[in-house]
Chain A
Amino acid sequence: DADVTQTPRNRITKTGKRIMLECSQTKGHDRMYWYRQDPGLGLRLIYYSFDVKDINKGEISDGYSVSRQAQAKFSLSLESAIPNQTALYFCATSDSTGGRSKNIQYFGAGTRLSVL
């Protein structure tokens, strides 16, 4: 969905490096999420945020941190990247305030990260 933009689209980095994946949205949604996708495992939740001051750990938060800089921006950081963090990362947004789109999550195009 072009309304949810992830940068970069692809990234190769080395073990021990700090990297940041960025997500911005123009949908006006209050909630934002970060997932990682691994082959055979589906998508797993890393962190989620209900608003700028409300950030929560997901199923697999170890080794990651997040920052909700504004309602429209939610970034994911790997403080010291390791090879098993090689995966496809997705940002998603949802609207908790009602309407037909309530509770649907809209995804960005993903960031493919390789840690060597």
Chain B
Amino acid sequence: AQTVTQSQPEMSVQEAETVTLSCTYDTSENNYYLFWYKQPPSRQMILVIRQEAYKQQNATENRFSVNFQKAAKSFSLKISDSQLGDTAMYFCAFSALNTGNQFYFGTGTSLTVIP
């Protein structure tokens, strides 16, 4: 079975600062994907970033980057130059090809950006 753990229910960061959200996962699969989704107050689920497990290079998307440690099964999200619009719930998710692309989600981290 796949599990995804987000151990930080709530976090806050000052505007323009950097924050890191943690995620760990457990799986016996070798071929899988990891994702970070953002859910603002509008409740829409928005893809932030994706990492393919076979790629050693960490994914980046503008101000968002990940630190993917495959051996440690860790997948943290770094947000640089935080903006007020980054205030949202962030979910880490796991998907494996052998399990039919089912997504397994963590319980989320509520991030507040303070002006």
Contact = CB atoms under 8 A, between A and B. Distances in A.
Interface of A: 1, 31, 33, 35, 40-45, 48, 50, 56, 58, 88, 90, 92, 94, 96, 103-107, 109-110, 112
B74 interface: no
A40 B102 contact: no
B44 A45 contact: no
Contacts of A107: 37, 44-45
Residue picked from A31, A56, A107, A112, most chain B C-beta under 10 Å: A107
19 contacts: A1-B44, A31-B101, A33-B103, A41-B107, A42-B4, A43-B103, A43-B105, A44-B105, A45-B102, A90-B45, A103-B33, A103-B101, A104-B50, A105-B95, A105-B101, A106-B47, A109-B43, A110-B45, A112-B43
B91 interface: yes
A42 B100 contact: no
B108 A42 contact: yes
Interface residues of B, number: 22
Interface of B: 4, 9, 33, 35, 37, 42-45, 47, 50, 91, 95, 97, 100-103, 105-108
Given A88-B43, A109-B43, A110-B44, A48 B105 contact: no
Q: Which of A1, A45, A104 has the most CB of B within 10 A?
A: A104
A35 B100 CA distance: 15
Contacts, number: 53
A35 B47 CA distance: 16
Contacts of A58: 102
Contact of A109 (B37, B44, B101, B102): B44
Contacts of B95: 103, 105
B106 A42 contact: yes
Nearest to A2: B44
Contacts of A109: 42-44
Contacts of B102: 33, 45, 48, 58
